[in-house]
Every structure is written in C-alpha cells, then in structure tokens.
Amino acid sequence: MKKLLVYLLLVFIAWHYYQKNTVPTEIEATPEPTVVEEHDAPVYQEPELIRFEPSTGFSCDGRQYCSQMRSRPEAEYFLKNCPNTKMDGDHDGIPCENDTRF
C-alpha cells in the first residue's frame, strides 16, 4: 500500500510539472486587419495570406524517371513536388534535359 501511494504521488508530481511547463499560458492573437489611409479615405486591407497556385492536374504517384513522363511541365512538377525523382542528373533544376521527346 505504501508503494502505491508513493507511485501515485510521483505520477501526480510529474503530471503537474508537465501541465505547468508544456501547456501554453498565452493565446496568440490573430493579426488585425490594417486600415491604410489614402487621399483621406480609409481603405480596408486584408492580412497577407499564403496562396497556393491553381492545380496543374498533376499528382505524385510514384513515377521517378523521364521515360514515365508525358511532358516537360509534368516532369518539372514531379521534380519540384515529389520525393525520390531521378530526372535531374546534374542537379541544375531542369528535368529531362536529354530527353528528345520534349
């Protein structure tokens, strides 16, 4: 019984330490929109957001080699966005340079 109480006390102390040191104490405020005055008329300006490019219709599906690509834009997409591609032998960022199909 004594061992159980010591064990529970240690668990409680560890839990209390964890709560005190890992739970954030402040909530980050969201950025407020700014108003820029231009020619005496306030203009509402949205906070800057990260925007993604429109979909190109390509998706990473495991292809790695130039012989598996249908176009240079597809090869460029795979080189930039997909892991383990083997299309840029000289590592200059241009895929399939020696492929005469493109």
pTM exceeding the 0.75 threshold for the entire prediction? no
- For residues 92 and 84, what is the distance between their CA atoms, to the nearest angstrom? 16
Mean pLDDT, rounded, of the chain: 77
pLDDT in tens, the chain (102 residues): 888 888 888 888 887 777 776 655 555 556 666 666 556 666 666 666 554 455 668 888 889 999 999 999 999 989 988 888 999 988 898 999 888 887
Query: What would the pLDDT profile of 12-32 be if each residue is shown by its tens digit?
Result: 888 777 777 665 555 555 666
